[in-house]
Chains A and B, each alone.
Chain A
């Protein structure tokens, strides 16, 4: 249940950020184009795949170094998913360097924003836990 909740939180953040980035991307690179409803489904699919990739957590306990490696792997997976899907959906041309760079930059920006949101959520939880910890210790 907790994992599903975490995944929904990530999905919500990713979808919101991807929507903003898509709006910006279309404004810059495809200002004249007429888009169909399929772009909305494409955004939802890409966001979902990215959320799944970023919610995969090892069952066994891992060291901090391993955790960092997993983080880097997630970033690589996110890049692969967005670039793969983007290419398939015709969001960019592989031989158009500014488009590819903009995609990579967008992926990096969304990854940082979502990571920061998850970190902030952890911070809020920790603040609440510290409050309760003080109450717990003052009872002794």
Chain B
């Protein structure tokens, strides 16, 4: 595969153009990886706005109609809805773990069974997130099971 890197003109946005005959799986993975890598979320903390890189996010959680994003130590709030985030991160490391939670699989340390077909994800920062029974098949598919 030929890789060409061109410098954009002044004022032009950085852009990735893919010229291919068909989009196969490795290419799709590359696109998703690029999408996740460059994806930043505008988040709020103590009344100030920040740009948070998707790769630093451990999980998103909706609590009382507010959506929070959890990093290793910090917690931010985003104005985006959980379903919008789910769509934006489709095909990336993020997956829906429950009605109120989207988890970054790259930040999961291990998985263990919980009550009644549910699983518990131990995150790399020591936090625990429940993967509800309805979303276990989503996780299994992501892991190729």
Question: Is chain B a partner of chain A in the same complex?
Answer: yes
A interface, CB within 8 angstroms of B = 2, 6, 57, 61, 64, 67-68, 70-71, 119, 122-123, 125-126, 128-130, 132-133, 136-137, 140
Contacts of B118 in A (CB 8 A): 67
Q: List 28 A-B contacts (CB under 8 A).
A: A2-B137, A6-B117, A57-B116, A57-B117, A61-B98, A61-B100, A64-B114, A64-B115, A68-B115, A71-B115, A119-B113, A123-B113, A126-B111, A126-B112, A126-B113, A128-B145, A129-B111, A129-B139, A129-B140, A129-B145, A130-B110, A132-B144, A133-B111, A133-B143, A136-B143, A136-B144, A137-B105, A137-B106
| Residue from B105, B110, B115, B130 in contact with A136 in the complex, judged by beta carbons closer than 8 Å | B105
Give the complex CA separation of A74 and B110 in angstroms.
30
Within 8 A of A (CB), among B102-137: 105-106, 108, 110-119, 130, 132-134, 137
Pick the 8 closest A-B CB pairs, nearest first: A122-B113, A132-B143, A67-B115, A129-B111, A61-B132, A126-B111, A126-B113, A126-B112
Contacts of B142 in A (CB 8 A): 136
Q: How many A-B residue pairs have CB under 8 A?
A: 56
Asked, given contacts A61-B99, A61-B132, whether A129 binds B116 with beta carbons under 8 Å apart, the answer is no
Give the complex CA separation of A64 and B144 in angstroms.
28
Give the complex CA separation of A65 and B78 in angstroms.
29
B interface, CB within 8 angstroms of A = 93, 98-100, 105-106, 108, 110-119, 130, 132-134, 137, 139-140, 142-145
B54 to chain A, nearest CB (A): 13
CB nearest to A74 among chain B residues: B116
Q: Given A61-B132, A67-B118, 19 more contacts at CB 8 Å?
A: A6-B117, A57-B116, A57-B133, A61-B99, A61-B100, A67-B116, A122-B113, A122-B117, A126-B111, A126-B112, A126-B119, A129-B111, A132-B143, A132-B144, A133-B111, A136-B142, A136-B143, A140-B93, A140-B106
Contacts of B98 in A (CB 8 A): 61
Contacts of B115 in A (CB 8 A): 64, 67-68, 71
B55 to chain A, nearest CB (A): 10
